[in-house]
Amino acid sequence: MSRFATVLAASLLSASVVQAATYSVKDTFVGPSFLTGFTAQAIADPTNGRVNYVSQAQAKSLNLTYTSSDTFILRADDTTTLTPSGPGRNSVRLQSNKLYDTSLLVADIRWMPQGCGTWPALWSFGTNWPYDGEIDIIEGVNDQGPDASTLHTSPGCTLPSSISGQTGTLVSTDCNTADNGNQGCQVKSTNSNSYGPSFNNNGGGWYAMERTSTYIKVWFWPRNSANVPAGVKNGGSNLNTANFGTPFANFVNTDCDISSHFGPHHIIINLTFCGDWAGQQSLYAAAGCPGTCVDYVNNHPAAFKNAYWDFAALRMYE
Confidence of residue 4 (pLDDT cuts 50, 70, 90): very low
- C-alpha span between 236 and 315 (Å, rounded): 10
Beta bridge partners of 317: 25, 104
Determine the Cα–Cα distance for residues 238 and 33; give it in Å rounded to an integer: 20
Q: What is the pLDDT of residues 224-280, one digit of tens each?
A: 999 999 999 999 999 999 999 999 999 999 999 999 999 999 999 999 999 999 999
Residue 142 C-beta-side C-alpha neighbours within 13 Å:
22
pLDDT average, residue stretch 134-160: 98
Segment 171-200 mean pLDDT: 98
pLDDT at residue 10, as a whole number: 37
> Is the per-residue pLDDT at 9 higher than 70?
no
CA gap 87, 107 in Å, rounded: 31
**What confidence tier does 300 reach under pLDDT thresholds 50, 70, 90?**
very high
pTM of the model: 0.93
pLDDT of residue 6: 34
On average, the pLDDT of the chain sits at: 94
Q: Is the pLDDT of residue 136 over 50?
A: yes
Burial (CB count <10 Å: 0-12, 13-18, 19+), residue 9: exposed
Per-residue model confidence (pLDDT) at position 15: 39
pLDDT of 20 reads 84
* CB contact set of 170 (below 8 Å; sequence gap of 6+): 159, 161, 162, 163, 186, 187
- Cite the active site residues: 134, 139
